[in-house]
Amino acid sequence: MGVLRDIYNRIEETASPVASGLAQSEELGEAFAVVAGIHRAVRGRVDQLAGVMWRSVNLPTATDVQRMRNQLGELDREVRLLTLQLQRNRPRAGDEVTGDGEPAGQEHD
């Protein structure tokens, strides 16, 4: 094991700067960006075609559902921040509230 480890350590000493240089290079970043862009374009086209199909039978598409979820998420955040602000105005020892202001039982780990 010791000999094999020494061999690996020597390889790692040489390979590590090369691997780091490659992983952090602008070229690799650009290559990933191109691949991600192609993936997004293909995905977008698939979603578009699926959307046409779902809407033709009066059903929401995945993007419609995601958009609604995102909007609900924004609402949830507004309520959450308001709850935090209101809670600060009346602090009580040992109180627990969830994001929507409902009390929760104490949990123990």
Partner 1 sequence: MVSLPGRSTIERITREVERNTLRARNGIRMATGIQHTQVGLSPKDVVWRGGRTQLWHYRSDRVTMRPPLLIVYSLFNKSYILDLRPGNSVVEHLIAAGFDVYLIDWGIPDERDAQNTIEDYTDFYLPAVIDQVCAISGSDSINLFGYCFGGLLAVLHAAHHPTSPLRSLTALTTPADLSALGPMGDALGRSDIDAAIGSDGLVPPSVIMQGFRSLDPMAEVTSRVDLVERLWNDEFVTAYQAMTGWGSDQVPLPGALARQLQQMVVDNALVNDRITIGGDRVRLRDIRLPFAHVLGLRDHIIPLDSAAPLVGLVGSAEKREYRFDAGHVGLMVGRTAAKNTVPAIIDVVKQQSEAT
- Give the interface with partner 1 as residue ranges (CB under 8 A): 1, 5, 8, 12, 15-16, 19-20, 22-24, 29, 33, 36-37, 40, 63, 66, 69-70, 72-74, 76-77, 80-81, 83-85, 87-88, 91-99, 104, 106-109
Lookup result for tokens 């059903």: 59
Which residues pair with residue 103 across a beta bridge? 97
CB of 11 to partner 1, least distance (A): 9
CB of 7 to partner 1, least distance (A): 10
Q: Is 3 or 57 the residue whose CB approaches partner 1 more closely?
A: 3
Q: Is 48 or 98 the residue whose CB approaches partner 1 more closely?
A: 98
Residue 54 has which token pair? 């779902």
Number of residues that this document lists for the chain: 109
51 Cβ contact partners less than 8 Å away, ≥ 6 residues apart: 61, 63, 64
* Measured distance CA(87)–CA(11) in Å, rounded: 58
